[in-house]
Amino acid sequence: MKNNRPRQFDLLVFDWDGTLMDSTAIIADSIRGACADLNLPIPSETAARHIIGLGLQQAISVLQPELPLHDYPALTARYRERFLSQDHTLTMFDGVCDTLPSLHAAGHWLAVATGKNRQGLDRALNQSGLRNWFHATRCAEETFSKPHPAMLLELMQVCQVPAERTLMIGDTSHDLEMACNANVAAVAVSYGAHSRETLENHSPMFLADNFPDLARWLTEYA
């Protein structure tokens, strides 16, 4: 049935890992494994999942606050080696590959704001076949990391869409805090890195328990 509601948002900004791609478990496992490989304190799975969405340098500073800066490259390299060894197994959540073209066809501008580096995001966009549906993307290494509002502010500027017509969609408190800092509305998903309770504390417009729920909400209300 055709949705006759007026469109609320022109620009839909998606986080990548844990929102569109089912990757949080492998990211957390790679972080913990990299720490073990270098005989560093191994963070809990909860702690490893909590930093997903941050830029890698910021994530290291949170998980390994005693680690000297000159040791960051070794940990970064080991994490990437572990992650890339499993990268080919990653898949998009059910419904993503159908929903994004539909949102695009409905006239929305689509964008990505992610803690991934540019090389990692480009690889994911190519492997998933989703690159053509996004009008703009921003990675943490290109600007300030979440929850700083820079990624959203830059995407809004590129797409020429004001804050009141922009919606952020993500699976972490970092996404929701970034949206708040940019004066942008936000929707959260509970199937990614952060718990439903954590996300509820940030009062998103909607909290989806799976991607089909998110797709239905976006189709009807966004």
From the candidates 15, 22, 171, 175, give the one annotated as an active-site residue. Answer: 15
The three-state secondary structure class of 181 is helix
The three-state secondary structure class of 221 is helix
Q: How far is CA 170 from CA 54, 64, 84, 146, 207, in A?
A: 12, 25, 23, 11, 10
Q: Where are the alpha helices (DSSP H) in the chain?
A: 24-37, 45-50, 56-63, 72-86, 96-105, 118-128, 150-159, 173-181, 196-200, 211-221
What pLDDT was estimated at residue 146?
A: 97
What pLDDT was estimated at residue 7?
A: 85
From the candidates 17, 22, 171, 175, give the one annotated as an active-site residue. Answer: 17
What pLDDT was estimated at residue 2?
A: 47
**Strands 185-189 and 207-208: what pairing?**
parallel
What pLDDT was estimated at residue 1?
A: 38
Catalogue all structural domains in the chain, each as residue range(s) with its CATH number. Answer: 11-22+91-221 (3.40.50.1000), 24-89 (1.10.150)
Q: Quick check: is 15 catalytic? A: yes
Distance, CA of 207 to CA of 172 (rounded, Å): 11
What pLDDT was estimated at residue 3?
A: 55
Distance, CA of 42 to CA of 116 (rounded, Å): 22
Q: Which residues contact 42 (CB under 8 A, 6 or more apart)?
A: 32, 35, 36
The three-state secondary structure class of 192 is coil
pTM of the model: 0.94
What pLDDT was estimated at residue 4?
A: 61
Instruction: Tokens for 219, please give them.
Output: 């189709």
What pLDDT was estimated at residue 6?
A: 77
Number of other CB atoms surrounding residue 63 within 10 Å: 22
Distance, CA of 91 to CA of 109 (rounded, Å): 23
- Ordered per-residue pLDDT tens for the chain, 222 residues: 345 667 899 999 999 999 999 999 999 999 999 999 999 999 999 999 999 999 989 999 999 999 999 999 999 999 999 999 998 899 999 999 999 999 999 999 999 999 999 999 999 999 999 999 999 999 999 999 999 999 999 999 999 999 999 999 999 999 999 999 999 999 999 999 999 999 999 999 999 999 999 999 999 999
Q: Quick check: is 17 catalytic? A: yes
Q: Nearest-CA neighbor of 179 among 171, 108, 216?
A: 171
